[in-house]
Structures are given as structure tokens and as C-alpha cells.
Amino acid sequence: MIQHPAFPVEPWVLRETTLHPEMLPQTESLFALANGHIGWRGNLDEGEPHGLPGSYLNGVYERRPLPYAEAGFGFPESGETVINVTNGKLIRLLVDDEPFDIRYGELLTHERVLDFRAGTLTRRADWVSPAGRRIRVSSVRLVSLTQRSICAISYQVESLDGPVRVVVQSELVTNEELPPRGGDPRVAAVLEAPLESVEYGAVDGRAGLMHRTRHSDLTVSAAMQHAVACDADTHTWTETRPDLARLTVGTRLQQGQPLRLVKFVAYGWSGTRSRPALQDQVEGGLTVAAQTGWEGLAEEQRAYLDDFWARADVELEGDEEIQQATRFGMFHVLQSGARAEGRPIPAKGLSGNGYDGHSFWDAETFVLPVLTYTIPDAAAHELRWRQSTLPGALERASQLGLRGAAFPWRTISGAECSAYWPAGTAAFHVNADIAHAAAQYAEATGDEQFERTTGFDLLVHTARLWSSLGHHDGGGTFRIDGVTGPDEYSAIADNNIFTNVMAARNMRAAADVAQRYPKQARELRVTTDEVGAWLAAADGIVIPYDSARGVHCQAEGFTEHQVWDFAQTSPDEYPLLAHFPYFDLYRKQVVKQADLVLAIQLCPDAFTEEEKARDFEYYEGLTVRDSSLSACSQAVVAADTGHLDLAYDYLAETALMDLADLEHNTRDGLHIAALAGSWIVLVQGFGGMRYCPGQPPSFAPKLPAALTRLTFTLILRGRHLRVEVIPSRVTYILDGDGPPLEITHYGAPVTVAPGQPETRDIPPLPARPRPSQPPGREPVRRSLPEPVRRRRGQGTSPAERAQPAEKTARAEKAGKAAPAGP
């Protein structure tokens, strides 16, 4: 969409200057508002037309069957799907008895603006009814980042050409009719009307609905209150039914006379609290919001975001489009987890129902690094949610005949929601990904209380999984056989490098905390022998290497497989999973997404610089990027190995993943990990920032030719370190008071004292030829003549190599049937 003329490039907003109804499903995702607890898709105020209505509460789901042709031991029996809860966005309008509907009459102007600094979605429409009455509708919508349970809308209608009767209907609606879902009809039946009424009513201008899910037994409450302002006489009344609460306001407006309605909506849910307690919670939240008022909520929102951007903004010069896309991505990453507080960060955030609203390993691997260094409290909350699901993970490991914790491949509540599937069930690396995120958070923040409690639990129980999953062979090396790494085109492989190096880091981190916190170690019965076993396993971990080819093997024997016949694979046969059987993919050298390359990104100390360069070049020729998770990791390692222009191309791909709808599924919700990827590429790739356990933060900055300046800030142990990069040098600036901060610059120690900037030269990078990718899977070259071609007609990524519309639909249909990760 961002390539469409209706979307100009602006640094702090996403603006749509003309409404295109055929793009509503995508723009509903782009314009979504959330705070990590509540999510509202960017539907039109009047509700219709729409692509997908969406109002979500993080953690609210319905159970559904997981069908098997033939059941097997250890197969999960039921899954969880996020549901559309009570819609509080709806404000319908009648103009002389005719509904305001952009499909009828004449839409003279229409503009929507998502403001990253105000945290609001603004809309303005001038419309002529079929009877010729001209009106202006303006609305501003927010999901509060300061009052967790609250959303609010300021809605105004104005007559532009004389007296007109208007009726505004503000509603709460439950069990909305949704577009049909494909697949198992039993699943569709479960989700058709997932909420049953518990109670409803209205009193003193407030109206509310309470419902319960039929199978997961969760109770959801929503209530609304309004403030109406108009110089003309108004008539209002309220009605409620089991699935509907409505406030109706009627009046007669003169030309230029506005009717303004402010709507406050409060949400709450629980699986354990009583109805009165939940109702009191929602009523209390609504009372505080009404007392704060619209202007107060907007001011709080702006102040919250001012504080966020002061420490989280990434500024770059040379590419205005990527600047806008990076801020768009950061805004949605913030919205996905800012107030999640004990709940997961789903792959789509709260912007759509894609992947059934599940959380995957990409939250810990891609999203939490961003939160750790910009809004660390949000990262801690997500990890505490993982800790809260430990009982289920311990039970799952026991069911699989293992010790420790086996965290699910995909989940909402903590239970495994993926039907048995080799690329998912055997993807034990998710446990090391969680451990890595916990250790990185503790190291970056110095949060000892977290490390002693949440971090300790996660590290120890995941380390125990590896010691029981792997084994020592006769030569003393430690093997982890029969697992699936991040690459979903390989499954049940022996000694996947990513799994092994991450497991080794996991076990070393567990040994470290066990030795530093003996009291907690005794409570979890961690013995000296167990710590020694972890260290021995980590030291003896197998790292497969193909000496003939001079590269590491993604997994043992991988480089001996037949190379996929890329030359005979046509562009419309991607993604491969939609056109070829998995068994064929599993036995060939073809990579869906960064796997060994991701290991280089996360564990750079496990590889020499020359090994990184050779490995990256080899796996570039095999990686087809059929996953949105791949481009950012390839960008980081491309930058590390001196391929800055290639890294810049991959940056554009991850930054524009949703703004350009490169995967053709933005309508289902945003790719939160890919959006986090913009920050990762700029900070870790071009900023060269790395986390290595027990070592000072390290930096090795370098810029591609297109960028002339890069500036970012990291929160390190409560201190703000600002990094300013230009092509020839970098300056490190430490804000505030306190002791100096130790970092490294290209391996050399640097001491940065508050108020005393340290400037260092950037050494030249080795010249290497650009590596090749599989035919037809090359990233589109990023070229920017003129100031960014403000009205771009150019393609910027895999959309260029994408399928025609009918083939895209076929691929998406097949892809949805596969229980793959994002």
C-alpha cells in the first residue's frame, strides 16, 4: 500500500489521503490501535464496509478441536483461537434517515492518519448522501497506553449545506458476523458465535455487556459511557439486549453546527474472578476514564509516547521511506507489548486473527531484544508470562519422556496449540530462545530480582531439557539428535547448529545463575553434579562442519543433500510449501528462513570472521525467504560480512513487509517480528551492536552508501547510551549521572563517561563480491534517485517476484493449511 499515491511519505505519521475500499482489509491492520491488552483493528467507525471486524483482548480465546486422521501418543487434542470480543468501535450515523455508508452517495474527501507521536487514529470524511445532504464526519480514536482497560473515540458530525436531521448510534456489539473461515467445519462452528450472554444492562447513562466463552470458560465484560455536546436540542435513549448495547442521539443541525460525542469504552476479562468483581473492575476503569476526559486521555497518550520516542527513536538520513517505515514498525511493536502485563505477544500483535492469535518463538527472538533496550518493563512482563506457563511446559516435557520444560511451538494460554507436526513438535529450540531472551534481559538491565526469580526458573528448567534430550557419544561430544531448527524446510535433523549453539549458551547461563544463587539452586534441587553436566555438555556440543566445502552444516549431513532444483522452479511456485510436499523439501538443500545465519547473528562468538563470511555466502544461495522472519537476520549478517548494499536491500524488505504487503497477507494482521526487524537491522546490523554473555556491549558500526547518518539510543542498566553514526566515524554519548559505561568498539575497549562523548573512526570493511541467491529470489535492489520518489511506482521487494493474484490466492490457501510459524 505504501507504494500507492494515497500514502505519502511522512516521518511521523501514516496518512491515507484517499479511501480505496478494496484495500480495507490491509489498511484495517495498518491502522490498528492496541496497548498489548486491547486491540482494535482500524475499521471504519460505522463498521461497514469492512474486511475483518476485529476487537481483541490479549489472552481471550476459544478452544477448538485439533483433528487427526489417526491419533497418536502425545498429540495435542485441542487448540486455541483468538476470538473477536465485544466491538466498542461502532458509531453509526443516519442523515435524514439514510445511513452514512461510503458505498452510497458520494464520498468527496476521505483521509485517515495514524499518528505515531499522538497514538491516535484520525479520520475526516466529507460525504453527500443519496438525497444530496452534505455532511462532514470527523473522529479521533485511541487505545490508552496509560489506562490499560480504556479505549476512547471523539466523534463529530457537522452539516455543510443547511438544516439536516441526524441520528448517531453508538454501540457495543458481540458475536458480529465474520467472514467465513476455511478448513475444518467443526472449527468454524466453534468460532461462529463463541460468546454466550451472562448479563446486560444500562444505568445512569452507562451500558454494559458481559459474556462467557462456551468452551474455554473465560468471562468478558465491556461497558461504555458518553459525553454529548451540541448547541441544538438533542434526544438520547439507551437500550440493551444480550449481544447489543446502544446509545442513540438525535438532533437537527443547522449549517456549520456540530454534534460531538465522546465515547469511553472499558474492557475486562478473567478466567477466575467472579462476575461482580469483573463488573466492578470495568466500572471503575470507566469512571476514571470519564473523569480524565477526552482531552486528558489524549494528553496522557502524547506524554507516554514522548517519553517512549525520547529513548526508542531510530533516526536515519538518506531514506525517508525507511525512516517512516521504521517508526511505523516501532509504534506497532510498542502497541503489541506495552501493557500486555502477564500475557504473551502474539505473532500478529492484536492487529488481526492471523495464526489464530498465537505466540511463537519470534516474540523472544525478534521482539524482546527491541523491548529490552527500549522499554524493558514490557520485555520483563512477557518473560514472566512464560514463567507462569512453566507448569504446562514441565508437564509437556514429561509427556514426551523428557526432564525440564518443553515450551509450546504455538500457544495463547501456554498449552501446545499446534497439531502434531515434525517441524513444530520437534522445534525444541524455542526453549533456548526463551532462555536467551531472559539472560539478555538480565544482562542488559542488571535486574537482579528478575534474574533471581523469573530468569532463574526459565534458565534451569530449559537447561534440564537439553541435558535429557541430548546425549554424550563415545568420543565425549554431546549430541542433540532428531530436532527441527528455525528452518521449517528441514525437520527431524541431527545436531542442528542453531539448536546446538543456543542450547550450549542456555546451559552455560543456567550453570552461571545456579552458582551465583545457591539458595534458589537448593530450592530447585540443582546439584553440583547437574551444573557440571551442563557445562560438560555445552563444552562438548557438536558443531557440524563440512571441511570439503569449507562451511558449517545447517545440521549434520545437510550439505550432502541434493540441492533443490531452483532453475526449474517457477516464480509462481513460491512459497514452496504451497506447491511441493514437505517430505521433498526435507531431503533437499533448500532453506525457508535464516537458520545457521540466525545462529551467527545471535551467537557471533561461536564463529570466526572468515567462517561467517563463507557460511553466509553458501546459505544465501539456498535461502528462498518464504518466511517474513528471514530478511532481517540475513541483513544483519550481510552487514557483518561487509555486504552493506545487500543488507540495505534486506532492510527495505523487512521494513516494508506490511506497508507494501509483501507477503500478501497483511489483511490477517501485521508481522510484528518483521516490524521489529527494522530496529534489529539498523541497531545490530548497521550499528553493529551485539550482546555476548558476560561481556560489555560491543559495537562495530558501518553504513551503506545510501545512508548518511544513523542515530539510536539504548537503555543499558538504566542508563541511556546514544550512538551517532556517520560513514567515517561514530560517537558514543552517555546521558545522565553515574559511573562510566564500558563498551567495545571493533573489539577495543572504550570507557564512556556521562557528558563526555567518545568518538572513534570506523575502519574500512573488506571488499567481497555480492553473493547470489536462488534464481528469482534475490532481494530487489534498493535505489533512491530524487527525494525518495515520493509517489513511488517502483517495487521494493519480494512483491516484485510475487505471484499473479489468482496464484497468490492458491498459495495462501495452501499455506494456511500448514501449521507453520510466522
In the three-class reduction of DSSP (H, G, I as helix; E, B as strand; rest coil), residue 529 is classed as helix
Contact in structure between 86 and 246 (CB atoms under 8 Å)? no
Q: What nine digits make up the cell of 151?
A: 479505549
How many degrees, rounded to 5, is the angle at CA 323 between CA 317 and CA 329?
Answer: 150
The rounded distance, in Å, linking the Cα atoms of 668 and 61 is 17
- Residue that the C-alpha cell 560517537 belongs to: 731
Distance (Å, whole) CA 676 – CA 632: 9
Nearest CA-CA partner of 382 in 361, 366, 365, 368: 368
Residue whose entry in the numeric block shows the C-alpha cell 534475490: 778
User: CA 777, CA 571: separation in Å to the nearest integer?
Assistant: 8
Residue 7 in grid coordinates: 500514502
Q: Which segments within 144-257 are labelled E, that is strand?
A: 150-159, 164-173, 195-203, 206-213, 219-230, 234-241, 244-253
Q: How buried is 194 (Cβ within 10 angstroms: 0-12 exposed, 13-18 middle, 19+ buried)?
A: buried
Which phi and psi angles does 24 have, rounded to 5°? -55, -45
Which value, in Å, is the radius of gyration of the alpha carbons in the chain?
27
Cell (9 digits) for 748: 577495543
Tell how many helices (H) and how many strands (E) occur in the chain. Answer: 22, 33
At 287, phi and psi to the nearest 5?
Answer: -60, -45
Backbone phi, psi, residue 31, to 5°:
-95, 15
Indicate which residue of 46, 80, 488, 530 is catalytic. Answer: 488
In angstroms, how far is the first alpha carbon of the chain from the final one?
21
Closest C-alpha among 390, 489, 497, 509 to residue 439 = 509
Instruction: Specify the residue for cell string 479505549.
Output: 151
Contact 161, 306 (CB under 8 A): no
DSSP 389: T
Given its phi and psi angles, is residue 196 left (phi above 0), alpha (psi -120 to 50 degrees) or beta?
Answer: beta
The residue behind cell 482494535 is 40
| Angle at alpha carbon of residue 210, lines to 204 and 211, rounded to 5° | 165
Q: Which neighbouring-strand residues pair with 166?
A: 95, 251
Ranges of beta strands (E only) in 512-570 are 545-546, 551-552, 562-563
Rounded Cα gap, residues 110 and 136, in angstroms: 10
Q: Residue length, the chain?
A: 822
> Which cell numbers hold the place of 496?
542442528
CA geometry: angle 70, 75, 77, nearest 5 deg:
90
**Is 488 assigned a catalytic role?**
yes
Separation between Cα atoms, residue 96 and residue 809, nearest integer Å: 41
How many C-alpha atoms does 529 have within 13 Å on its Cβ side? Answer: 1
Alpha helix segments (H runs only) across 31-168: none
The enclosing H or E element of 119 equals: none
The interaxial angle of helices 320-337 and 644-655, nearest 10 deg, is 50
Q: What is the dihedral of CA 105, 106, 109, 113, to 10 degrees?
A: 40
Active site residues: 488
